[in-house]
Amino acid sequence: MLMGAIILYIDSIRCLSTSVPQCAAAKPSKKTLEKPGVRNIVLVEGVRTPFLQSGTAYKNLMPHDLARAALITITVLTALHCFLTALHCTDKNATLFLTALLFLSQHYYAVDYIIYGTVIQEVKTSNLAREAALGAGFSEKIPAHTVTQACISSNQAITSGLGLIASGVCDAVIAGGVEFMSDVPIRHSRKMRRLMLDLNKAKATAKKVELISQMLTPSALTPELPAVAEFSTNETMGHSADRLCATFGVSRREQDEFALRSHTLAKEATDKGLLSDLMTYKVPGSNQTVSKDNGIRPSSMEDMGRLKPAFIKPHGTITAANASFLTDGGSACLIMEEQKALSMGFKPKAYLRDYVYVSQDPKDQLLLGPTYATPRVLERAGLQMSDISVFEYHEAFAGQILANLKAMDSDYFAKTQMGRSSKVGTPPMDKFNLWGGSLSIGHPFGATGVRLVTTAANRLHKENGQYALVAACAAGGLVSAMLNVPEGHGMIVERYPSK
């Protein structure tokens, strides 16, 4: 496995554009969120496979194949980074291959823990993180576990890693996520499952014949098809999004315009080479190599307007054009304690600072997580909306984003639903998802969080900003917010200083 990674490493020198970092870090010019006595945790690098529509080039793989590829690439890329740093700072006449091999082997053994997020689990690889790590050539002595928290599963993987590093248990963690919608589990009916178990226990021939005859009935043969639906409400997320749009008065035209914006910006970012987290992936078992996301397709308002409602028919406003599509993809990022990263020659991209998780009513507020998470993570960090240079919000539906923006701009909603004295305020659109989002790039449920955080860090450097805010909603009324960084999540990300 290690030799396979070395071959990929040598090949990656040809296809990856990695700038040579300086050997010493410069000090930030603005105030930072560093806290006395608290370990600084940095994002070293993040990568992802191209995000592809389900049923396309990845359709014959398994989820751990994509996770394994991301793990190999994050290790190879960071080793290459340090290798080029060593050449820049020391003797350039060293034997290149042996030096490269040394750096790669060191990086495989420098990782203390691996955490992966996923939503729809493949039963053969229940601890997907462990299977992917072993397949990628990591030592069997490196622990790994898998987490699930709907669309913020890899956000949870990242923050679980932050906890391990902050507590001093680990110095280096790889966090990632994967989702594979091309081959979701389709179960036998409950009746069929019961009959099969009974048949396995049956001794008498007559009993076996009786059970087999019951298996051939339509009620037993009808499978249980998977659905992206809430167990507690039995409502699909698309229905929730449609109702949310009606509540906040988000029109079909507004949704189509936002979706068109997402696709247009994603295409521009792709054409300009800004999506540097993308890896080139040779699809196992085929001659196909993929290097771009295949769901980015700018259309026209006229063409989008011809589509029929996808969920609430005939009067709904959610369509295939303004909703994220079923996606296959994997991602990985390396997070480390700052001094450990610097001692290994890394030039980190960003500090990972404060984060919050929030939850609310899974029926009427399923997708409103960013509205609740944004003010809380800003308050934890002691920042204002105006301090944020980069906003990266997960786009489950165009209507979900627009409903959140309207909720954040409403004094009435703030007072009656959030217990706040005034509205949250909305992110400026000239700082919001400027390289596209989940509507266009794709949304592999378990992998999107790493993409959001990595994109936020990359945008901070490209746009010369200091703070980024990452927010995402998730099924169950959950939300995540992270300061680079239903349920939801929010995180603050702070750009790592450069000269």
Active site positions, annotated: 151, 473
Length of the chain: 499
**How far is it, in rounded angstroms, from Cα 430 to Cα 467?**
15
Phi, psi of 161 (to 5 degrees): -65, -40
Only one residue has tokens 């680079």, namely: 484
How is 318-376 classified by DSSP, letter by letter? --SSSBPPPEEEEEEEEEEEHHHHHHTT---SEEEEEEEEEE--TTTSTT-HHHHHHHH
**How far is it, in rounded angstroms, from Cα 318 to Cα 336?**
41
Residues 363, 364, 369, 374, Cα dihedral to 10°: -160
Alpha-carbon separation of residue 276 from 17, 73, 79, 445, 462 (angstroms) = 8, 13, 17, 21, 11
- Across 449-477, b (16+ Cβ under 10 Å) vs e yields bbbbbbbbbbbbeeeebbbbbbbbbbbbb
3-state secondary structure of 286: coil
- Which residue type is seen at 370? P
Cβ(86)–Cβ(99) below 8 Å: yes
What the block records as the tokens of 347 is 């030039």
What the block records as the tokens of 364 is 């009427």
Residue ranges of alpha helices (H) inside 188-251 are 190-201, 205-215, 218-221, 237-248
What the block records as the tokens of 318 is 């959610």
- Start-to-end C-alpha separation, the chain: 38
How far is Cα of residue 313 from the mean position of the Cα atoms in its chain?
A: 31
Cβ(330)–Cβ(447) below 8 Å: yes
Report the chain's C-alpha Rg in angstroms.
23
3-state secondary structure of 282: strand
What the block records as the tokens of 253 is 């035209």
285 φψ region: left (φ > 0), alpha (ψ -120 to 50), beta (else) = left
